[in-house]
Chains A and B, each alone.
Chain A
Amino acid sequence: MARWGMLIDLRLCVGCYACTMACRMENGTPPGVWFSPVYEKEEGNFPNVRRMFVPTLCFHCDDAPCLKACPTGAIRKREDGIVSVDQDVCCGTRACVVACPYGAMNYYHEERRLPGPLGELMDGRYEVGTAQKCTFCSHRIDAGNLTPACVETCPTNCRIFGDLDDPDSEVSRRRREAGAFQARPEAATQPRVWYVR
């Protein structure tokens, strides 16, 4: 079985936020809940300064601290490596939010719920008072479309998605050839998202 992962080439990202918005449109996330934010970072000293964009998402760690912290067992790792939250089981301790070293966990707080019909529309999809996060668009993968929305929409192809266990997949090949690295390796979570810079 494929075990999914992603490589993000920071050299290619132009900070258009198309991935962030594509994710939002695909998943219809509530206000304040971002599954795939892009962060800005300034590097260097004047006059040699450059701005870097860092797309992020859930890193679907093999040793996921959110899964360990969750007291209800609502967070599970699928066989294909995707870490998912069962919002019908989550009781809203937010232990996963404080446990995630990558800031990938969102808590859908009551204050964020939209009033009126829009709020009611989202109620059908996201439960107030539960944790939410990126799923690598598992609903698309399960339906046979092996490309998450953020990857599909990226105009520079800085995000590459594929089977990390397949040495011939593009994501594995690029990871080897480009000298990819993992964010916060000291956290020892074995994330399945790799970066190139």
Chain B
Amino acid sequence: MENGNAWNASFRIGPKRQNVWGWAHASEFFALGLGGALVLTRLLFGAGLGRWGGVEGAYLLGVLLVAAGGLVLIADLGKPGRFLRAAANLRHSWISWGVVADGVFLLGGLALVLAGGPAWVAWVTGAAALFVVVYPGLAMAASPSIPFWNTALLPLEFGAYSFAGAGALCAWLGPGGGPAVAVSAVSLALALSFTLLHLLGAHLQRGTARMSAGELVHGVGFLPLLVLGVALPLVVALLASGGAALSPGLWAVAAILALAGSWASKFAVLRVGYYAQLF
């Protein structure tokens, strides 16, 4: 009977949730974002994870994360053997550009890990890393079908969460110091701001964008996520920025919460992707 009702409901006009992108895409977006942000945090701000067995930890982990994210995506494809074709539509598709950026990032990142590489390799890898961080948001924001995603805030939001996770991880595991804490604090503040702006903007719209925002706030525990995954690590980062001596254990908790918040924010946005109604 339940199946029959679900079948009937699928033929009724009404808000329908997208159900083709889920945890695998959230994990992929998380891994790509964190990997790219780790490399950029090291390149731009000098904050890293220290040396791991003679190689730069931030570069190594960044490359491993982006490779893992790519593998998750390939495994989730309907036809994994055709994954290289995903770079074919550079004229229109952000995903195609993302595939190219992933490839450039992996090659450049490997060069940085193995040989240090000349300055131009670092810059090319950095540019690719920036694109790796934002392209999932750009691909989703380009869709006119899901109004909650169809906003320029989404790539900024995803990027801020990625840098928040990277900054917190560097502050926890790295040699310490101000840059990582500053990256973490600023990114967490931006992530919180972009999220609230996104929710407010969607709430002010009519239709399914408002429904998505409402479901985030009321339905899937997004507010606890904002408190635990963003606000709490932000307080820790602000305290550290103010000169407070924090124990490594507190940074560990803050970093794990920020990373969990980064993944969960992507998953939540994907989950509440309601198509606009036909009529």
Contacts and interface: CB of A to CB of B under 8 A. Distances in A.
Contact of B79 (A65, A70, A90, A98): A90
Nearest to A103: B275
B78 A130 contact: yes
Interface residues of A, number: 44
A69 B99 CA distance: 13
A128 B92 contact: no
Interface string A176-197: 0000000110111100000000
Interface string B49-80: 00000000000000000000000000001111
Contact of B78 (A37, A65, A94, A99): A94
Given A54-B13, A72-B86, A91 B78 contact: yes
Contact of A72 (B13, B85, B143): B85
Contact of B95 (A71, A89, A97): A71
Interface in A15-69: 37-41, 54, 56, 65, 67-69
A162 interface: no
A71 B279 contact: no
A140 B190 CA distance: 55
A147 B222 CA distance: 50
Given A39-B13, A65-B144, A71-B87, A95 B78 contact: no
A99 B145 contact: yes
B278 A100 contact: no
B142 interface: yes
Interface string B102-141: 0000000000000000000000000000000000000110
A101 B139 contact: no
Contacts of B261: none
Interface string A116-144: 00000000000111110000000000000
B78 to A, nearest CB: 2
A91 B276 contact: no
A120 to B, nearest CB: 18
Contact of B139 (A95, A103, A188): A95
Given A90-B79, A92-B78, A72 B89 contact: yes
Contact of A187 (B12, B88, B139, B276): B276
A89 B144 contact: no
Contacts of A74: 85
Contacts of B79: 90-92, 127, 129-130
A97 B11 contact: no
B269 to A, nearest CB: 12
A68 B279 contact: no
Interface in B131-170: 139-140, 142-146
Given A68-B142, A93-B77, A129-B78, A37 B88 contact: no
Contact of B144 (A56, A183, A187): A187
B203 interface: no
Given A40-B13, A93-B86, A108-B78, 13 more contacts: A68-B89, A68-B92, A71-B88, A71-B99, A74-B85, A91-B77, A92-B82, A93-B78, A97-B20, A98-B146, A103-B275, A107-B20, A183-B278
Interface of B: 11-13, 16, 18, 20-21, 77-80, 82-83, 85-89, 92-93, 95-96, 99, 139-140, 142-146, 273, 275-276, 278-279
30 contacts: A41-B12, A54-B13, A68-B92, A68-B142, A69-B93, A69-B95, A69-B139, A69-B143, A70-B93, A72-B82, A72-B88, A74-B85, A91-B77, A91-B86, A92-B78, A92-B82, A93-B78, A93-B86, A93-B95, A95-B95, A98-B20, A98-B145, A99-B145, A109-B78, A127-B79, A129-B79, A183-B279, A184-B276, A186-B144, A189-B144
Interface of A: 37-41, 54, 56, 65, 67-74, 89-95, 97-103, 107-109, 127-131, 183-184, 186-189
